[in-house]
Copies of this chain bind each other. A is one copy, B any other.
Amino acid sequence: MNHIAKAVEEVKALLGDRLSTAPAVLNTHGENETYFPHTPPDAVAFPNGASEVSEIVKICARHNCPIVPWGVGTSLEGHALPVRGGITLNMQNMADVIEVMDADLAVRVGPGITRERLNAELRATGLFFPVDPGANASLGGMAATRASGTTTVRYGTMRENVLGLEVVLADGRILRTGSTAKKSSAGYDLTKLMIGSEGTLGIITELTLRLQGQPEAVSAAVCSFPSVADAVNTVIASVQMGISMARMELVDPNSMKAINDYSNLNYPLEPHLFLEFHGSSAGVAEQADIVGDIAAENGGTDFQWTSKTEDRTKLWHARHNAYFATKAQFPGQLGLSTDVCVPISKLAEAIAETQADLEAHKITGNIIGHVGDGNYHTLLFAPPEDKDALNLNLKLAGRMAERALRLGGTVTGEHGIGMGKMKFMEAEHGAGWQVMAEIKRALDPQNILNPGKVVEIN
Residues of chain A having any CB pair with chain B under 8 Å:
101, 103-106, 145-148, 152, 157, 159-160, 169, 173-177, 179-190, 192-193, 195-197, 201, 212-213, 239-242, 279-280, 282-283, 286, 339, 341-345, 373-375, 404, 408-417, 421, 424-425, 428-436, 438-439, 441-443, 454-455
A12 to chain B, nearest CB (A): 28
A362 to chain B, nearest CB (A): 29
Give Cα A342 to B104, complex, Å: 10
Q: Which of B106, B175, B442 contacts A439 (CB 8 A)?
A: B442
Q: Which of B148, B160, B169, B412 contacts A435 (CB 8 A)?
A: B169
User: Given that A103-B240, A193-B193, A280-B283 are known contacts, is A410 also in contact with B344, CB under 8 Å in the complex?
Assistant: no
**A176:B438 contact, CB within 8 angstroms:** no
**A417:B104 contact, CB within 8 angstroms:** no
A148: chain B residues within 8 A (beta carbon): 183, 185
Q: A188-B439, A193-B193 known; 18 other A-B pairs, CB under 8 Å? A: A103-B240, A106-B343, A146-B183, A146-B184, A159-B192, A160-B160, A173-B431, A180-B343, A181-B342, A182-B373, A183-B410, A184-B341, A185-B414, A186-B429, A187-B432, A188-B193, A213-B241, A442-B442
Give Cα A146 to B188, complex, Å: 10
A159 to chain B, nearest CB (A): 7
A146: chain B residues within 8 A (beta carbon): 183-185, 189
A169: chain B residues within 8 A (beta carbon): 431, 435
**A345:B101 contact, CB within 8 angstroms:** yes
A-B contact pairs, 29 of them (CB 8 A): A103-B344, A103-B345, A104-B345, A146-B184, A146-B185, A146-B189, A175-B430, A177-B429, A180-B343, A180-B408, A181-B374, A181-B413, A182-B373, A183-B410, A183-B414, A184-B413, A185-B339, A185-B413, A185-B414, A186-B410, A186-B412, A187-B196, A187-B455, A189-B192, A192-B192, A280-B286, A283-B283, A438-B443, A441-B442
Give Cα A173 to B438, complex, Å: 13
Give Cα A92 to B187, complex, Å: 25
> Considering only CB atoms, which chain B residue lies closest to A279 in the complex?
B283
**A175:B431 contact, CB within 8 angstroms:** yes
**B195:A189 contact, CB within 8 angstroms:** yes
**A412:B184 contact, CB within 8 angstroms:** yes
> Considering only CB atoms, which chain B residue lies closest to A146 in the complex?
B185
Give Cα A454 to B186, complex, Å: 8
Give Cα A408 to B103, complex, Å: 13
Q: Which of B181, B343, B433 contacts A101 (CB 8 A)?
A: B343
Give Cα A106 to B180, complex, Å: 30
**B192:A432 contact, CB within 8 angstroms:** no
A240 to chain B, nearest CB (A): 6
Q: Which of B186, B197, B341, B421 contacts A428 (CB 8 A)?
A: B186
> Considering only CB atoms, which chain B residue lies closest to A106 in the complex?
B343
**A189:B185 contact, CB within 8 angstroms:** no
A235 to chain B, nearest CB (A): 12
A180: chain B residues within 8 A (beta carbon): 343, 408-409
A196: chain B residues within 8 A (beta carbon): 185, 187-189
A173: chain B residues within 8 A (beta carbon): 431, 434
**A430:B176 contact, CB within 8 angstroms:** yes
- Pick from A181, A432, A433 the residue with the most CB of B within 10 Å: A181
**B189:A429 contact, CB within 8 angstroms:** no
**B373:A187 contact, CB within 8 angstroms:** no
A310 to chain B, nearest CB (A): 24
